Amino acid sequence: VFAKAPVPGAVKTRLIPTLGEQGAAELHARLTLRTLDMATQANVAPVELWCSPDNRHPFFRALTLPQQNQFGPDLGARMAHAFAAVLPESRFAILIGTDCPAMTGDYLREAVTRLAQGADAVIGPAEDGGYVLIGLSRIDARLFENVPWGTAGVMQATRERLEECGFRWHELPCLWDVDRAEDVNRMSITR
């Protein structure tokens, strides 16, 4: 699970006009705890928290699960680093963020099943053009290079990279994540 420290003004920045800096940080913290609980309860694999900028923030210190620090100059580099660190010791790894309240344990189980059946990659598209989950059984750093992170073009660029790298992949059903005010409203309706 990739997570940023819930620092006001540094997380969920697109929601600050609606929620304020503190409100956006509090929402981020709640979403992070919900994601960690969901991933742990799914009981499909060991869960690690990959912290940004590092795990010294009191929010992270209060959590008891294994933690690693994210490393790299951008999201793609940090994701590539995490996969490169985990895959030598595991058949596959799945990376998720913390802002998809629509994700369930069954969704994670489907990702695990597809990877166990031989897919090189599994990806969970997001309605906004990004993705909410990526799982890999092998790493190729090109998957994370020159991706327009934070835009509606992330998923398409990732499909192109998967093709270029010769990966066999499976796409899970499309989910929504929390990036805009209307997503916050949707979240409270689906609780």
Partners of 2 in the beta sheet?
Answer: 50
What's residue 144's pLDDT? 96
pTM summary value: 0.94
- pLDDT at residue number 19: 95
In three state form, how does the secondary structure of the chain look? CEEECCCCCCCCHHHHHHHHHHHHHHHHHHHHHHHHHHHHHHCCCCCCEEEECCCCCHHHHCCCCCEEECCCCCHHHHHHHHHHHHHHHCCCEEEECCCCCCCCHHHHHHHHHHHHCCCCEEEEEECCCCEEEEEECCCCHHHHCCCCCCCCCHHHHHHHHHHHCCCCEEECCCECCCCCHHHHHHHHHCC
Per-residue pLDDT tens digits of the chain, which is 191 residues long = 999 999 999 999 999 999 999 999 999 999 999 999 999 999 999 999 999 999 999 999 999 999 999 999 999 999 999 999 999 999 999 999 999 999 999 999 999 999 999 999 999 999 999 999 999 999 999 999 999 998 999 999 999 999 999 999 999 999 999 988 888 888 865 54
Q: What three-state secondary structure class fits 49?
A: strand
How far is Cα 43 from Cα 38, in angstroms, rounded to an integer? 9
